[in-house]
Amino acid sequence: MPSPRRIHRLASSLHNRQTDIIIALDGVHDPHNVSAVLRSADAVGVDRVIWRPDPDAKWVNPEVTRGSERWVALEDFEDFLGQMRKFKQAGYRIAATHLARNAVDFRKVDWTKPWIVVMGNEHRGCSDEVLEIADENIFLPMVGLVQSLNVSVATAVTLYEIQRQRELAGMYNKTRPRDHVEYMMNRWQLGGEGFTVEQLLDFPDGPPPSGPDDHQDGRLIPRKRKKTAVPAPSSHERTDE
């Protein structure tokens, strides 16, 4: 059964999920970058990343994700452009990271609306076909001599501006409806850990309760086995010390 501390943490994360912000990776090929994006997305409560990967890049690095691949859905689409059009028809706007003449400072966009934020390939940037359907081109202002950031860093910076605006608008730390709780609980497969919907229905009050912690970065920590006494080596036995 989950501990009170784990229930508190999972309930807080579940209710803070921002399901109308999606990160789209347009040809990002480095697994380290994809993994870092997943981790940053989870940190701010964005739980969906869509991807048009290079053919040889369909995997993530668990040492980088630290378990966030469980909490953030990573979906790749062969018809990436078609999927983007479907999102537009559903009411999403598309922001592409592209330094064009009409590009706007990413901090001037109203991120409280439903958005898809497209991050381009490490070398080529966003594809022309994505730029054609984008509603906004955004850029991150820079005053240094190197006029670009690593794609995972640029994603993290953008996500924290999204979080800042949404926190000011009261879109975090609020109780979500039951259907949201049931949806996220199924997505995260929490029933197998012994969670019930009733445990997660309300946004938890106050800090997490004290007690043993059975999670780290969202993953279960295996219980440590009790140490057993090991007889000291006799004088004729060789040791590593």
Domain ranges of the chain: 1-16+173-211, 18-168
pLDDT at 42: 94
- The single residue listed with the structure tokens 């004088």 is 235
- Between 184 and 236, name the one with better pLDDT: 184
Confidence of residue 236 (pLDDT cuts 50, 70, 90): very low
Q: Which of 61-75, 91-105, 127-141, 182-196 has the lowest mean pLDDT?
A: 61-75
Q: How far apart are CA 78 and CA 87, in angstroms?
A: 15
Closest by Cα among 20, 23, 37 to 166: 20
235 vs 18, higher pLDDT: 18
Task: Give start and end residues of each alpha helix (H) in 52-177.
Answer: 62-65, 68-71, 80-89, 128-133, 151-168
- pLDDT, position 145: 65
Q: What is the pLDDT of residue 220?
A: 54
- The residues near 163 (Cβ < 8 Å, ≥ 6 apart) are 44, 45, 172
pLDDT given at position 57: 59
Residue with tokens 């990776």: 25
Mean pLDDT over all residues of the chain? 84
- Under the banding of pLDDT at 50, 70 and 90, the label for residue 227 is very low
212 pLDDT band (50/70/90 cuts)? low
Average pLDDT for 42-48: 94
Superfamily of domain 18-168: SPOUT methyltransferase, trefoil knot domain (3.40.1280.10)
150-179: average pLDDT: 95
Model confidence at 120, pLDDT cuts 50, 70, 90, reads confident
